[in-house]
Amino acid sequence: MRRRRAKIFAALGDETRLALVAKLCRGSDLSISELTETAADARISRQAVTKHLRVLENAGLVRCSRTGRERRFSYRPEAAEEMREYLEFVTAKWDEALERLKTFVES
């Protein structure tokens, strides 16, 4: 579980990968060509987009499917939902710790 979370955080720790996830979150499956075209303003090569997509796929954030010779990528919201739940858990723990600190300081 920890390793999977670490992979997701690491994958999202890159600006290019965040941008790719944002594009895929719009709902439609996109090919590497389509993702490269939309990344052209940032001068990202097709090979770089492919490499970033592999990292996202290994982290479970995107899914690759084949349509003929073309590979299409889609966003997998399950991984993000798992991270949201984890971050809510961590937030609750911090809130508890800060409340204990506040009680201690005020007493």
DSSP state of 1: -
Note the pLDDT of residue 67. Answer: 84
Range of the domain at 39: 2-76
Task: Indicate whether 60 belongs to any domain.
Answer: yes
pTM of the model: 0.78
User: Does any domain span residue 105?
Assistant: no
Other CB atoms closer than 10 Å to residue 38's CB: what's the count? Answer: 15
* Domain membership flag for residue 88: no
pLDDT of the residue at 38: 60
Write 59-68 long-range contacts (CB < 8 A, 24+): 59/4, 59/7, 59/8, 59/10, 59/11, 59/12, 60/4, 60/7, 60/8, 61/8, 61/11, 61/12, 61/21, 62/20, 62/21, 62/24, 65/29
Query: Is residue 101 domain-resident?
Result: no
Number of domains in the chain: 1
Inside any domain, residue 89? no
Ordered per-residue pLDDT tens for the chain, 107 residues: 778 888 998 999 999 999 999 999 988 899 988 888 765 456 788 899 999 999 999 999 999 999 888 999 999 998 888 888 889 999 999 999 999 999 999 98
The answer to whether residue 50 is domain-embedded is yes
